[in-house]
Amino acid sequence: MSRPSSGRGETRVKRTGCAGGHLPALDDARASSPEARLLSAFRRDAQHASKVYLGGREYYSEDGKTFELPLVGKIKRQLSADPTFCPEYPSPLGLTEFTRRATEVALGENSRAAVESRVLGVQTPSFTAAVRLGAELLRHWTDVSAAWCGPVYLSSPCDDSLAGIFQAAGIRDIRQYYYWDEQQRCICLEKLLEDLERAPERSVVVLSASAHYPTGADLTQNQWAVITQLMTRRRLLPFLLLPAQALCFGDLKRDAWPVQHCASQGMELLCAQSFSHCFGLYGEAVGHLVCVLKQNSLLLSVKSQAVKLVRSLWAQPSAGGAHVVATVLSNPAHLVECQGEVRRIVERCMLIRDILREKLRLLGTPGCWDHLTQQSGLYCCTGLNDQQVEFLSKRRHVYLLPSGCLNVSAINGHNLKYISESIHLALTTSP
């Protein structure tokens, strides 16, 4: 993988809090994040009968609980009952079958990069760990004596922990590119392209391949085509995110289309994946990092560096969840069953969006709410402002992120009416 240049620049500070001049270390950043503060406020709230927490990241079923796919439970029982199954510590790079299958669902079965031995897959303890390992590799994969330190571009808004992860890896130059237009309630491609056009060559651009957090708004294939052309011309390196793979279209490979497209254009890239959401493995977080290199001659050196970094970060990933994922991905019948269950999750989330939009229309809530059904995945950006969000928490005990974004799956038949009425009141009675 060719090394990014040492482009320098000031860290940009914006209201979303995704980047800043002197952000706290990773653990402190998590503890003081808007999401952490929101959950703390929810827990401190008096036991109000109708209080609702809409800021979580997990998928919640209709009964308001996190879930595990029935197939996953069945495979766990089969593995525990199999006398030939002997779980051992995997290598630092993870279970070979898991990394092979995870790479396949990211790049496709007939990936040219894989055929040409330009791909490295590394199992990680979580999605966050995959991002951290990718950040470390950006600094050290060529010349340790002259470590690269940025710039890295994050979307505005973005996951609040991302800046802290890169900074924990020693990358201080964190900047932002325009993504979500709060007024139009959609992605603003024109301003996004303007920001990337100004980025120094060899900058790293972190892009959500699907299930953008926290907006739920993803780039179309046509928009991806325009962005990849610009990035190729400007020699920018994409760091792609798949934090909830399969929960946009109900298909692991379709959600990964942007990754496959970038690789098909001959781009080198990094991609962080998570299998926790689509398998319900929240207690056994299963992450993966894919590195696509320009030349296969670099593979051994990058692999060696990855092994050194893993040994210093977490030694080796756990095997349990990875065995389950590998078992599903390597068995066509299991994969069909799994994706059928995931599609039902996706369909439920889309139905919630549709019903919520209709409820708001019938209530006569000001504004157009079509954007609710134009977004996808678990997350949704409502377009509510700071005062309206505060009204919801203080007056109605409904908690969503300060950006006005929420987890769609946390809405169910028990609280849908109350939530829609609360949103209506927030727009009609708050200042």
The pair of three-digit structure tokens given for residue 105, joined into one six-digit string: 């669902």
Same domain, 287 and 423: no
Query: At which of 333, 359, 380 does a domain end?
Result: 333
**Structure confidence at residue 282 as a pLDDT band (50, 70, 90):** confident
Amino acid at 47: Q
Across the chain, mean pLDDT equals 88
Same domain, 283 and 362: no
In sign, the C-alpha dihedral spanning 163, 120, 278, 72 is negative
Same domain, 207 and 328: yes
Q: Which of 24-38, 87-101, 260-274, 308-322 has the highest average model confidence (pLDDT)? A: 260-274
- Spatial contact of 381 and 423, defined as CB atoms under 8 Å apart: no
Domain membership of residue 265 (yes or no) is yes
Query: At which of 299, 333, 367 does a domain end?
Result: 333
**Structure confidence at residue 1 as a pLDDT band (50, 70, 90):** low
Distance CA 34, CA 17 (A): 9
Same domain, 52 and 123: no
Given this model, what pLDDT does residue 146 score? Answer: 52
Same domain, 51 and 198: no
Given this model, what pLDDT does residue 147 score? Answer: 59
Same domain, 122 and 218: yes
Share of the chain above pLDDT 70, in %: 89
Domain membership of residue 260 (yes or no) is yes
- Spatial contact of 380 and 355, defined as CB atoms under 8 Å apart: no
Given this model, what pLDDT does residue 430 score? Answer: 63
Domain membership of residue 19 (yes or no) is no
HSE-CB of 191 using CA atoms within 13 angstroms? 13
Same domain, 36 and 163: no
Give the largest Cα separation in the chain, rounded: 66
Q: Which residues contact 64 (CB under 8 A, 6 or more apart)?
A: 410, 412, 414
Given this model, what pLDDT does residue 314 score? Answer: 93
Domain membership of residue 354 (yes or no) is yes
Tell me the pLDDT tens digit for each residue of 5-56. 444 333 443 333 333 333 333 344 445 677 888 888 898 887 778 899 999 8
Domain membership of residue 20 (yes or no) is no
Tell me the pLDDT tens digit for each residue of 74-101. 998 888 887 777 667 778 999 999 999 9
Same domain, 296 and 362: no
Q: What is the CATH number of the domain that holds 279?
A: 3.40.640.10
Q: How many domains does the chain fold into?
A: 2
The pair of three-digit structure tokens given for residue 299, joined into one six-digit string: 């593979």
Phi, psi for residue 177 in degrees, rounded to 5: -120, 150
Give the domain extent around 144.
70-333
Q: What is the CATH number of the domain that holds 392?
A: 3.90.1150.10
Domain membership of residue 277 (yes or no) is yes
Distance CA 164, CA 22 (A): 10
Tell me the pLDDT tens digit for each residue of 323-371. 999 999 999 999 999 999 999 999 999 999 999 999 999 999 999 999 9
Share of the chain above pLDDT 90, in %: 70
The DSSP element (H or E) to which 420 belongs, if any, is helix 416-429
From 112-116, 262-266, 319-323, 425-429, the region with the lowest mean pLDDT: 319-323
